[in-house]
Amino acid sequence: MDFFAAQARAKKHTSRLVALFALAVIGTVLGGYGTAVFALRQTHDDRPQRSGRSAQRSTLNAPFPSWWQPQLFVGVSSLTLAVVGLASLYKWNEFSAGGSAVAESVGGRRVDPHTTDTLERRLLNVVEEMAIASGVPMPAVYIMDAESAINAFAAGLTTSDAVVAVTRGTLEKLSRDELQGVVGHEFSHILNGDMRLNMRLAALVFGILVLGLAGRGILWSLRFHSFGGSRDREGKNSGGIVIAIAFVGLALLLLGYVGYFFGRLIQAAVSRQREYLADASAVQFTRNPGGLTGALKKIGGFALGSSLQSNKSGAIGHFFFAQGFRSNFGGLWATHPPLDERIRAIDPQFDGKMFDAPEVVDVARESFVTAGLAPAQPARPSHLAPAPAADAMASIGTLTPEQIANAQLLLDSTPARLRTATQTPAEAQVLLYALLLDEDPATRTHQRTRIASRAGGEALRLLDELTPALRALRPEHKLPLLQLSLPALRPLPPAALNPFLETLDELVHADGRVTAFEFALQKLLIRTLGLGRDPGAAIVQIHSFNAVVDEIAIVLSAMAHTSDNDALTAADAFALGAAHIKLIEHQLALLDPVDCDVGPLDPALDTLATANLPIRQRTIMACAHIAGADGRIRVAEAELLRAIAATLDVPMPPLTTAA
C-alpha cells in the first residue's frame, strides 16, 4: 500500500464528498424556497376580501406573486445554510476532541494497561504489534462491554489521537488470527486517512438532519395545542398563527429528512468502497486471509452478528468493521457491503457457508500461544538484518508480515520490566528519563541530580530499579518504548506534563549537545502529545514549495550532516536528496552545521508540518535518500528520519539499521 497515494485518494474522496453534499444542500435550499413561494401564493389567494369599488381597486393594484422572489430566496438560502453549517460545525467540534471522545460517547471503556484479563491482554498485544510495525503512535484501546455482537471501529482525526475500539463479543468469539485481521482492518482505516473522512461524513449528514429534527421539534411542541376555543378575532388570529407554525414545521421536517435521505445515500456509498479497500489492506498486512474471512464468517453465523444495541452508535455506523444496524430502503443505506461479497473478494472459492462462533473459551490455564497472547509461527532470527535504504520510503504507511514479525521480535526481546514501566504515567516518565542518561559518569551524575530535584527521591529509586533492564537494551528498542509509553502519558494534566517535559529538556542538554536520538525522542513526544490533545491543530496552510525553501534546506542539511561519514561527504548526500525535489533543487544549498542544528531545525519542522501532502512527501523522500546515500542506514540516521516523519504526520515503521 502506498501511503501517500492512499492519502491522496482520501483527499479526492473528500472533495467529491463535499461536492455531493453541496448538491444535497442546494436541493434542500431550492425545496425550502419552493415551499415558501407556494405558501406565499396560497396566502395571496386567501387574503380577506373587501366589498365594492375598493376591493376591485385592491385586486388590480396587488399583482399575484411570481415564482421568483429574490429577497425571499436570499432569506431562505441564508437560513438553511446557517442551520446546516452551524449544526455540522457543532458536530465537528464534538469530534475534534479526538478518538477517545468518540469511543466514550458510545459506551467504550478504556482498557487498563495493567489488566489481568487474558482476552484484554491479547487485544493489547495485537494492537501493540500493529502500532510498532506501522510506526504510528500506540492508539488508546477501548472495549464496548455492553455489546455482545462482533464489531470494532477506529476513530480519530490524526494518528496521534486515534483509538481502536472492539465489542465484548469480538474479544470472546474470535481467535487471535481473526482478531489480528479485524485490528489490521482498523489500522488500514488509520493509515488510509479514512478516520477523518468518516468524521466529516458524520458531521455533514448531521447538519442536514438538523433541519428535519427542527421541524419535528416544532410539530411536537404543538401536539397539545387546541384549535378549538373562542370564536373572537383573537382566537381566529391565534389559530392562524398556529397553522402557519405547523406548516413551517412540516416543511422543515419533509425537507430535512429528504436531504438526510440523500446524505445517507452518499455516506453509505463512500463507506462501502472504503471497506473493500480496508479488507484488501488487512489481508496485505497480515498475509493471512483466513484471519479476516474467519471473522466475517463468524459474524454471518453468530446469532447477533455485528448488530449493535446502543442507539448512540447509529451516528457513527459507518465507522464500524461490519454493518452495525439494519439497512433501510433495500440496502441503499448499507454502510458495508454484504458479508458474502466481502468474503468472496478475499476468497473467490467461498462456498457461502457461515459458521457459528464458538462459546467463550477459558484461557486462564492455556499457554501464551494457545491463548493468543503470542502468535504461533516459525522461529525468527535473533536480530534484525539491515534493510536496503530504499526500503525506508516503501515502508511508510504500510503493514507487512515482515514488519509485524519484526515488531513481535522487538517486543519479545524488550525486557519485561521496561514494558511494564510503559503502562503507568509515573513509571513511563522515569523510563524516558532513563533512556536519556549519558554514558559519561560526570554527566550521568548531574542528570541524576536533576531528576532527584525535579521528580523526587521516588523517581530516583525507580530509576535504579530499571537500571539492570536498561543495560540489556539495544538502540532499536528505544523509540518503540516511547511509542508504548504514549497511552500512559496522554492523560497527564498540564500541571504534571509541563514539569515532565522541562525535566526531559534539562536531561537532553546536560552535556551541551543534542544527539539525533535525543532530538527524536523530544520531537516525537511533544508532537504526538500535542496533536493528541488538540487534533484540530493539524491544519494545512502551505501549498507552495517556494514558501518553504529555507525550511526544507535546514531539514535536508541536518540530515546530511548526520549522514556524513568517511565514505560520503555531507555535500554529496545533500545533493542526492535535493535532486528529489526538482521544483526547488537549484534553490537549495547545504548549510553549516550551526545553521541547521536543533535551534533552527525545530521550528523548520513545525512549519513544514503545516504544508500539504506533496511537500511533506518530497521532503521525507529527500531525507530518506540522504540517509541511505551510502547504501545503509545507521541508527542516528534512522532516529532523525523517524522524528522528521512523525513531525510531518507520516507513520514510518522502525528501520532496520547498520551498527
Q: What is the pLDDT of residues 598-652, one digit of tens each?
A: 889 999 999 998 898 889 889 998 998 898 888 888 888 888 888 898 888 887 7
Taking alpha carbons only, the member of 191, 163, 52 closest to residue 97 is: 163
Could you report the per-residue pLDDT of 289-328, keeping only the tens digit for each?
Answer: 888 888 999 998 887 888 888 777 777 777 888 887 776 6
Cell representation of residue 284: 496485505
Between the alpha carbon of residue 187 and those of residues 133, 196, 487, the distances in Å are 11, 13, 17
Give pTM, 2 decimals: 0.71
Q: How confident is the model at residue 150 (pLDDT cuts 50, 70, 90)?
A: very high
Per-residue pLDDT of 428-447, as tens digits, reads 999 999 999 988 899 999 99
Position of cell 406548516?
A: 247
pLDDT band at 228 (very low <50, low <70, confident <90, very high): very low
Contact 306, 299 (CB under 8 A): yes
Share of the chain above pLDDT 70, in %: 76
Name the one residue in this structure whose C-alpha cell is 438532519.
209
Q: Indicate the DSSP class of residue 568.
A: B
Residue 301 C-alpha cell reads as 453465523
Q: Give me the residue spans of the domains in the chain.
A: 3-47+65-87+197-276, 101-196+296-346, 415-512
Location of C-alpha cell 459474524: 299
Residue-wise pLDDT for 2-22, tens only, equals 556 655 665 666 566 667 777
Residue 545 has pLDDT above 90, yes or no: yes
pLDDT band of 380, cuts 50, 70, 90: very low
DSSP secondary structure code for residue 140 in this structure: E
Q: What is the per-residue pLDDT across 454-471, written as a single tens digit (0 to 9) for each?
A: 888 899 999 999 988 988
**For 335-352, what is each residue's pLDDT tens digit?**
788 888 888 888 888 887
Catalytic positions, written as ranges? 186
Q: Which of 279-283, 449-453, 529-533 has the highest mean pLDDT?
A: 449-453
What per-residue confidence (pLDDT) applies to 11?
Answer: 60
- Nearby residues of 4 by Cβ (< 8 Å), 6 or more positions away: 396, 397, 613, 617
Identify whether the C-beta of residue 618 lies closer than 8 Å to the C-beta of residue 607.
no
Please report, rounded to a whole number, the percentage of residues in the chain having pLDDT higher than 90.
Answer: 21
* For residue 189, pLDDT beyond 90: no
Find out if CATH 3.30.2010.10 is the number for domain 101-196+296-346: yes
